[in-house]
Amino acid sequence: MRSNYIVKTVNLVKLFPVKRGLWEIITRKKQEYVHAVDNVSLAIEKGDIFAIAGESGSGKTTLGKLMLKLLEPTAGEIYFMDKNLKEIKGEDLKKFRREAQIIFQDPYASLNPRIRIGESIMMGVNVHYNNLDEKEKKKMVYDIMEKVGLTPAEELYKRYPHELSGGQRQRAVIARALILRPKFIVADEPVAMVDVSIRAQILDLLLELKKEMDLTYVIITHDLSVAYYISNKISIMYLGKIVEMGSKESVFNEPLHPYTQALIQAIPTLKGRKERKIVGGEVPSAIRPPSGCRFHPRCPYAMEICKKVEPKLIEIKPNHFVACHLYEK
């Protein structure tokens, strides 16, 4: 019997080797690694809008790319609809590419400046539906452009990326991701590169498309207000690890981890200034992460055990997990 999870990761690890110079090679200096994702286990159910939030460098984008097999894991397993991504190849891999797509963070960088918008959107169709004639392919492109609000489609089809506004470029990369009718979308900072005035429009578009096309989203963001607006579940990452995970309501109404508490208190408010917990210090190096709890050098509640023993991600309340010694029995 198939589980209800569309994506599941088990003890996922991704290490990037640090480039060594000639002197390090001659002296046989030990190879060092960036610990981008370290022992992450999570499950995303069909229909979820699962937000992954945290500071820059926490491993969010790397985790998203691992889920899409754009990067290969150093260790651990990734399952897509009960299929191990390590084992799929050939036609199964091609099918996976149709069913799992990404919306990149910077639409201007991810669109080829020398290729017209319509042709960029059609690229996936050329690969996966090469049995269609040119007229049928163009109709698919026009239809998806209309669906995401790129109108009139016939006119915008011929334009180059620099001829579009920031919001239109964002809609174009959304159209490119959706034209193959995928089941699973990783949206990496989907509104980071657009004006504040149209962020809500893009988020509402994603919600509308989710209902219409029966999509499952992973939303990668450093902005917790975006996560709160669009998601139903959220995980907080810090230096390659998940420190808290649960439903949106549970995490925002009763944040357990000191890092989560600090992030939520840092959300701007229109009601004036409020007292905030200040997290001091800088984010430690991902090459040499701290022993024990990785947050302990900056944590206002750090204890001796935090410096030596890594906390496990445990369930404190139903479906609300935290990795913190403050909550261990």
| CA neighbor of 232 nearest in space, from 246, 212, 211, 213 | 246
Which helix (H) or strand (E) segment holds residue 101: the answer is: strand 100-103
pLDDT tens sequence across 73-122:
999 999 999 899 999 999 999 999 999 999 998 888 889 999 999 999 99
Cα 296 to its chain centre, rounded Å, is 25
What is the per-residue pLDDT for 275? 60
- Let me know: does 309 contact 296? Beta carbons within 8 Å: no
Would you say residue 24 has pLDDT above 80? no
The CA-to-CA distance between both ends of the chain, in Å, stands at 36
What is the per-residue pLDDT for 58? 92
Would you say residue 270 has pLDDT above 70? no
Distance CA 244, CA 107 (A): 30
Would you say residue 53 has pLDDT above 90? yes
Residue 181: which region, alpha, beta or left (left: phi > 0; alpha: psi -120 to 50)? left
Kindly write down the DSSP assignment for every residue of 49-80, as one continuous string: EEEEE-STTSSHHHHHHHHTTSS--SEEEEEE
What is the per-residue pLDDT for 130? 84
Kindly write down the DSSP assignment for every residue of 162-225, as one continuous string: GGS-HHHHHHHHHHHHHTT--SEEEEESTTTTS-HHHHHHHHHHHHHHHHHHT-EEEEEES-HH
Confidence of residue 276 (pLDDT cuts 50, 70, 90): low
Please give the average per-residue pLDDT across 49-63, as a whole number: 94
Write the secondary structure of 125-150 as one string of H (helix), E (strand) and C (coil).
Answer: HHHHCCCCCHHHHHHHHHHHHHHCCC
DSSP secondary structure code for residue 21 in this structure: -
Cα dihedral angle (58, 62, 66, 68), rounded to 10 degrees?
120
Q: Which of 99-103, 197-201, 232-236, 259-263 has the lowest mean pLDDT?
A: 197-201
Q: Which structure tokens are listed for 40? A: 């992450």
What is the per-residue pLDDT for 256? 95
Confidence of residue 278 (pLDDT cuts 50, 70, 90): low
Which helix (H) or strand (E) segment holds residue 161: the answer is: none
Would you say residue 3 has pLDDT above 70? no
Would you say residue 11 has pLDDT above 70? yes
Would you say residue 65 has pLDDT above 80? yes
Confidence of residue 1 (pLDDT cuts 50, 70, 90): very low
| CA neighbor of 279 nearest in space, from 264, 258, 294 | 258
Residues 6+ apart with CB under 8 A from 329: none
Q: Which structure tokens are listed for 45? A: 């159910």
Amino acid 318 reads P
Please give the average per-residue pLDDT across 235-248, as a whole number: 96
Please report the sign of the dihedral spanned by the C-alpha atoms of residue 56, residue 58, residue 62, residue 67: negative
pLDDT tens sequence across 143-181:
999 999 999 999 999 999 999 988 899 999 999 999 999
What is the per-residue pLDDT for 183? 95
pLDDT tens sequence across 216-229:
999 999 999 999 99
Q: For all residues of the chain together, what is the average pLDDT?
A: 91
What is the per-residue pLDDT for 277? 60
Q: Which of 29-33, 248-252, 303-307 has the lowest mean pLDDT?
A: 29-33
